Structure 1
């Protein structure tokens, strides 16, 4: 009798959950992606080993200890020799950047990607109803959104938004804004432009926690085209199913773990603390408590509840890693692909460990970090591009995008693939070389002598003079 009651209860829960998901999907306004274009800089801006060394040696604030720290950081970063830096950094103007340098940097990314996006989609700039531009570290007058409108002579009634300070997770913030606006504007087209202004924010001091940003952040960006017109569903490549945004800024440690400050010498930069990984993990758990029930099948939710209850009974003093495993369900039951923000090796590995992901699952994020570095808000779309270039994305597949940003924010969403995706995109000229046999770089091979104890008796000023 008890077994029969349990079966009836299970059937009732399943029916309730199924009806809830149908109602949720119907109330959500459709948001289709028609296309996206990632930016690839010219070869004269490539940061190979020699280019990195020359930029580092220009910083006269650095001593032997800082050189050793940078060498170890670069070697362990997961970044290769084919990433790109802003023009003014390549030209040696990082200490005294001008406004025109930042505007030129933005123009190159904006107009290169938008020109290609308009040409491939067949949608003209005058058809755009909503424009969202997100660049965290550059706020100018007129706005960057106005700069795009002026260049393409968009309509006077275009709804323009210029987002700043949103960090690496800004593109999903922008897409969420578009999704909300689609509830008020029918059969509309929206453009989202996501990038970062790095040239004017290159750190020129010697504080180790602020030098990390120079090792990780690189030039890049992406422009995306969306619509809520169901008549264009056949042209869509992706459909947004769920979006959950989490802001963990009320926690002081999380707020301070990734913050723009000035050091003791007055140099401005980003301080990245050891608390960042912890903040990412905690905000991730909070986010998944909301996203999980929306994307997972009922049987996985029930299994997760039972297992979590059993684990809590066994140990009330679990370590952080055990806590993560207990708090996160098996997301592979709700998604076939994992598009993780390539913010750094530690973040990628941390997410992979907590979710029980394989090397295959983490490959797109790791390869993106190696090839393009951390391109901030644009990074997710290089990861998506890798999946597409590798022909992994088939119609009906689900992709979960996982992003983190200063604040501290965790913004995640789930997409449904609307057609087989196989464009080579920005990866076209190198996709056959990935994954390489090794993600190592030649920095240690060429500059490992910096760790020689004998150098402690040599002044770095003398070395610079002969380099």
Structure 2
């Protein structure tokens, strides 16, 4: 992807950057350790993910909303949310304002954002953020399908999800897209793009977009070949760590 501030190149551009908000809360031990590169008992480096990961992602997303919401939502929606939250809390005799995604009043981001692009890093993250924002299956479909077809491809996953929206002809001029990504630190990065022209270009999805979404996201190979993970087959597995340099 090419990013530029040269106004002379605006005509071939697809997207315009509107807002960027980054939150980082590595001061929390749980957040810092929920996604961290470490060595295992054999000395191999890898990333350790803990059960706190989803909670950290939602916490970072909520922190970000405090900065981003005034930039993307009209004042009337913000005032309605604050008033509705106050009335809800009074009715339940609670003194704590309900966070977006709680069991009380939900903030409707879709009033200021037409498309939500959640990083397809895992089903739990996609479902957790989708639930916290009250998103529909249609809203989280691009991220789920990108994860289903390509897996977790790190930062590139955003563009697979965006390409899905493009291939489905969802992106129209003037639409706004919220990209929300998470990573070690723990950090939460969020970008709001504006579509500057109707998008319907062929991309990496062109050979299969008509088959998506599938009727089921169950991986048929997991059921067919799951026997490969049986403990009884340990004797045929080769230990590559024994290879000399």
Could you tell me the TM-score, scaled by structure 2's length?
0.88
Pairwise CA distance, 1:362: 0.8
Alignment-derived partner of residue 203 in structure 2? 425
Q: What do the CA deviations read for 1:296-342 (whole angstroms, capped 9, x no partner)?
A: 01111001111222333325498x99864558621001111111100
Q: 2 CA distance for matches of 1:386 and 1:326?
A: 32
- Give the alignment partner of residue 460 of structure 1, picking from 234, 237, 242: 234
- How big is the alpha-carbon RMSD for the aligned residues of Structure 1 and Structure 2? 2.4
Secondary structure of 1:413's counterpart equals: strand
Structure-2 change in CA distance of 1:389 and 1:267 (3 Å): same
TM-score computed with the length of structure 1 as normaliser: 0.47
Which secondary structure does the structure 2 equivalent of 1:241 belong to?
A: strand
Question: Aligned equivalents of 1:274 and 1:449: distance in 2?
Answer: 27
Q: Is the 8 A contact 1:325 1:355 kept in 2?
A: no
Cα distance between partner residues in 1 of 2:19 and 2:192: 5
In the alignment, is residue 369 of structure 1 matched against residue 159 of structure 2?
Answer: no
Larger radius of gyration: 1
Question: Shift in Å at residue 230 of structure 1?
Answer: 2.4
1:50-449 correspondence to structure 2 within 5 Å: 224-313=1-90, 314=92, 316=94, 324=102, 329-449=107-227
Runs of 4 or more above 3 Å deviation: 315-318, 320-328, 447-451
Instruction: Encode CA deviations 1:239-265: one digit per residue, 9 max, x unaligned.
Output: 111111100111110000000001122
CA contact 2:16–2:195 (8 Å) conserved in 1: yes
SS at match of 2:59: helix
Residue 194 of structure 1 corresponds to which residue in structure 2?
A: none
Cα distance, 1:325–1:289 mapped onto 2, change above 3 Å: farther
Q: How many residues align?
A: 236
Is this contact kept in 2: 1:285–1:324, CA < 8 A?
Answer: no
Residues 448/237 of structure 1: CA separation in 2 closer, same or farther (3 Å cut):
closer
Distance (Å, rounded) in 1 between the aligned partners of 2:189 and 2:178: 11
Q: Which secondary structure does the structure 2 equivalent of 1:379 belong to? A: helix
What is the distance in 1 between the residues matched to 2:175 and 2:218? 32
Which runs of 5 or more structure 2 residues have no equivalent in the other structure? 239-245
SS of the counterpart of 2:83?
helix
What is the rounded CA distance, in whole Å, between the counterparts of 1:278 and 1:378 in structure 2?
23
- Taking a change above 3 Å as real, the CA distance of residues 242 and 445 of structure 1, as seen in their structure-2 partners, is same
Contact 1:285–1:328 under 8 Å retained in 2: no
Structure 1: state its 5+ residue gaps: 1-223
Partner Cα distance (1:359, 1:459) in 2:
40
